[in-house]
């Protein structure tokens, strides 16, 4: 194409109103947290694991590329339902291979942080890096416990990627009290502890998602877990296992919010993970008065799954989300804040400082975006306040900055999709990180 013919695309996507209520049922893509773990744990294990329902998204592909670089063999194909299924043959007792180049984790914090724990107990040197957003995210929280276990790093006490992990076969088991409720931190330490001599324990100030503790025993790792504590007994022999990944509640939360914002909607989300550590948004929306309920239909391994049904509810009210519950809604706070903007009264999210170090500074971005809607939202210390307006009228011509963050892009897209006027969202394609078919799925529910 000559330069005169080339078209400069606008840096934003126009999101048009869907034009009607959302009705019927759908499935959402595979759970991102469980998909990462299925791929990574299968790569660490001896033998061939069969995986189904794996999320096909940029983040999970980063984990797949990472384990391939370390010597695992991944044969996952895209299925008719859009998920990935197939086999992963792990490196097992022989350990991961020395990669010949840095491993680029793209935008995926879960890949980068879990990988540090995975390579730490082996005699290899692995440089881990990521995109501009990931290079800004804090890594000291993972480096600190792994260093206590005897792992070295280059530079010596790094804060940010790129980081070279200098692994060791002589890691020491530790009893670690984590300063924050983080499943990524907990998992990195437990994965390193799987190959250290003795019991490695992580204590948390509040419960974080527990997919690791539920899945490790399936891969033959002796594991015990309580509400704010998890331990592994090393050294373990990880053996292949089969994993069926249920739908992602974090993606379901956007569909649920859409049903609450688009008048007259009634939606059933099928085959979604109902792990209590992940459906804090259902509890929160209930407390706001939403007509939402979950029905249990069984389990995949130890992960409960079922359906979430949600009906448009004309009057919602603000509520308080205490700090102990924040980990169970951490990825859903942007979209819950948008729902709170439509509720009567004030919603308070307590102790949400972690939002500042997600894929973007989500705390600032929520306040900025809600401000564009004419909604008063502010921070007091680490608490987020949203003063709702049930009569909210969206002004025409808004341009929301997604900051390249998938959960912000989907949140602001709902303003246009479920409202009466289109909105513009910058870098909307970043939804491919967790929910590539997000808009198509919403459109499929409009009759
Ligand atoms: C995740 C844990 C959470 C969450 C992230 C996925 C995981 O992060 O926000 O999207 O899969 O372990 P933290 O561990 O930093 O809380």
Instruction: Classify domain 32-233 by CATH number.
Output: 3.65.10.10
For residue 71, report the distance from its CA to the centre of ligand 1, in Å. 25
Domain(s) of CATH 3.65.10.10: residues in the chain? 3-29+246-444, 32-233
Is the CB of 110 within 6 Å of ligand 1?
yes
Ligand 1 atom nearest to 358, measured from its CA: 9
Burial degree of 392 (CB within 10 A; 0-12, 13-18, 19+): middle
Is the CB of 33 within 6 Å of ligand 1?
yes
Is the CB of 330 within 6 Å of ligand 1?
yes
Give, using CA atoms, the residue closest to atom 4 of ligand 1.
331
Structural tokens at position 330:
């951490």
Is the CB of 273 within 6 Å of ligand 1?
no
pLDDT in tens, the chain (447 residues): 334 455 554 589 999 999 999 999 999 999 999 999 999 999 999 999 999 999 999 999 999 999 999 999 999 999 999 999 999 999 999 999 999 999 999 999 999 999 999 999 999 999 999 999 999 999 999 999 999 999 999 999 999 999 999 999 999 999 999 999 999 999 999 999 999 999 999 999 999 999 999 999 999 999 999 999 999 999 999 999 999 999 999 999 999 999 999 999 999 999 999 999 999 999 999 999 999 999 999 998 899 999 999 999 999 999 999 999 999 999 999 999 999 999 999 999 999 999 999 999 999 999 999 999 999 999 999 999 999 999 999 999 999 999 999 999 999 999 999 999 999 999 999 999 999 999 999 999 998
**DSSP run (H or E) holding 294:** strand 291-300
For residue 446, report the distance from its CA to the centre of ligand 1, in Å. 32
Is the CB of 411 within 6 Å of ligand 1?
no
Q: With a threshold of 0.95, does the pTM exceed it?
A: yes
Active-site residue, from 331, 401, 405, 441: 331
How would DSSP label each residue in 167-206?
Answer: --TTPBP-EEE-SS--HHHHHHHHHHHTTSBEEEEEE-SS
Structural tokens at position 342:
């439509």
Q: Does residue 331 carry a catalytic annotation?
A: yes
Ligand 1 atom nearest to 33, measured from its CA: 11
Contact between 147 and 163 under an 8 Å Cβ cutoff? The reply is no
For residue 328, report the distance from its CA to the centre of ligand 1, in Å. 10
The architecture in CATH of the region 3-29+246-444 reads: Alpha-beta prism (3.65)
For residue 2, report the distance from its CA to the centre of ligand 1, in Å. 45
Ligand 1 atom nearest to 212, measured from its CA: 12
For residue 327, report the distance from its CA to the centre of ligand 1, in Å. 9
Using left for φ > 0, alpha for ψ between -120 and 50, and beta otherwise, residue 27 falls in beta
| Strands 152-154 and 103-104, bridge-based pairing | unpaired
Ligand 1 atom nearest to 330, measured from its CA: 9
| Bridge partners (DSSP) listed for residue 74 | 88
Half-sphere exposure of 239 (CA within 13 A, CB side): 6
| Strands 266-273 and 303-311, bridge-based pairing | antiparallel
């Amino acid at each position: 194409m000559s330069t005169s013919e080339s078209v400069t695309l606008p840096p934003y996507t126009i999101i048009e109103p869907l034009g009607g209520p959302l009705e019927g049922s759908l499935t959402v893509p595979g759970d991102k947290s469980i998909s990462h773990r299925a791929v990574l744990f299968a790569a660490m294990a001896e033998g061939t694991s069969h995986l189904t329902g794996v999320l096909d998204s940029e983040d999970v592909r980063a984990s797949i590329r990472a384990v391939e670089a370390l010597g695992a063999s991944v044969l996952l194909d895209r299925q008719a339902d859009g998920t990935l299924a197939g086999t992963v043959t792990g490196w097992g007792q022989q350990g991961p291979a020395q990669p010949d180049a840095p491993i680029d984790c793209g935008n995926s914090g879960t890949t980068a942080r879990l990988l540090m724990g995975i390579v730490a107990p082996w005699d290899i040197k692995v440089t881990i890096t990521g995109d501009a957003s990931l290079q800004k995210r804090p890594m000291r929280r993972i480096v600190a416990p792994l260093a206590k276990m005897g792992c070295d790093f280059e530079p010596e006490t790094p804060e940010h990627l790129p980081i070279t992990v200098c692994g060791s076969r002589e890691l020491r088991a530790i009893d670690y009290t984590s300063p924050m409720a983080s499943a990524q931190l907990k998992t990195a330490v437990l994965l390193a502890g799987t190959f250290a001599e003795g019991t490695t324990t992580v204590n948390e100030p509040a419960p974080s998602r527990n997919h690791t503790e539920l899945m490790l025993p399936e891969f033959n790792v002796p594991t015990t877990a309580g509400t704010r504590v998890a331990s592994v007994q090393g050294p373990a022999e990880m053996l292949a296992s089969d994993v069926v990944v249920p739908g992602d509640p974090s993606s379901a939360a956007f569909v649920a919010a859409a049903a609450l914002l688009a008048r007259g909607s009634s939606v059933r989300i099928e085959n979604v993970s109902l792990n209590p550590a992940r459906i804090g948004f259902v509890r929160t929306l209930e407390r706001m008065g939403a007509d939402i309920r979950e029905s249990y239909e069984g389990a995949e391994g130890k992960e409960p799954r079922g359906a979430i049904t949600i009906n448009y509810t004309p009057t919602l009210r603000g509520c308080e989300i205490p700090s102990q519950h924040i980990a169970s809604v951490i990825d859903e706070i942007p979209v819950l804040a948008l729902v709170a903007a439509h509720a009567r009264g004030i919603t308070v999210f307590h102790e949400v400082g972690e939002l500042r170090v997600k894929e973007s500074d989500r705390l600032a971005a929520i306040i900025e975006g809600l401000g564009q809607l004419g909604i008063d939202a502010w921070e007091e210390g680490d608490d987020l306040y949203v003063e709702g307006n049930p009569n909210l009228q969206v002004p025409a011509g808004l341009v929301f900055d997604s900051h390249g963050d998938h959960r912000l892009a989907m949140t602001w897209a709902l303003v246009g999709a479920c409202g009466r006027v289109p909105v513009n969202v910058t870098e909307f394609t970043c939804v491919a990180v967790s929910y590539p078919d997000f808009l198509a799925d919403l459109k499929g529910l409009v009759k």
